[in-house]
A = this chain, B = another copy of it.
């Protein structure tokens, strides 16, 4: 089945399913590298920390990648997931805010491997402008964002400014013509409804850990 058909046949895939497809692709990449031809939904579920019924249900949205009684063909399943998530293409990213998190992102080898290429880096601080980064990019002034976004056909804008600078960064990106924004600050950013925003709060998982630690301790104390 062609990807376009898969997508036109699944007009309303729930967001949690889309999020889990990316999670499934991680162990599939490892299995492919290790030369495993087939993986069962049970094994894939264990590797991803979800339950097997969930794996089967999620993958059912996108047609039949399974072989009854055996599992899924690793190579075909990964190819299909990449096509669905559109990670089989090259995406151009720009980033605003070149602190430590911004630097960590542009130098992340996994992004590049999955086709996410940072093509421009901006900072509002003139002392940082002109600095050459390890990845090869030079930090640009935000005043130049419109020209650069248009010239380099930027698909996705990433915000790694301070919390206070996030809304201005989002406004600059949208004004420059970027239609998808990934916000790494805890700020509640507002953008035009015709654009797409994802928030990535790297502190959220810490709070989950604290919750579980409390429960582990509670359980020990009552033993």
| A residues with CB within 8 A of B | 4, 7, 15-16, 18-19, 21-23, 25-27, 30, 47, 49, 84-87, 89, 91, 93, 99-101, 103-105, 107-108, 110-111, 114, 116, 155-156, 163, 179-180, 182, 184, 186, 188, 196, 198-216, 218
Contact = CB atoms under 8 A, between A and B. Distances in A.
Contact of A180 (B49, B105, B209): B209
The count of identical subunits is 2
A75 to B, nearest CB: 19
B27 A203 contact: no
Chain A: interface secondary structure? helix
A49 B108 CA distance: 28
A46 B145 CA distance: 30
Contacts of A198: 205, 208-209
Nearest to A49: B199
B108 A209 contact: no
Contacts of A200: 202, 205
A175 B156 CA distance: 41
Contacts of A110: 163, 186, 203
22 contacts: A4-B218, A19-B204, A21-B207, A22-B201, A22-B203, A22-B204, A23-B204, A27-B188, A86-B210, A86-B211, A87-B210, A91-B213, A100-B107, A103-B104, A105-B202, A110-B163, A111-B206, A114-B203, A116-B210, A179-B213, A180-B209, A182-B209
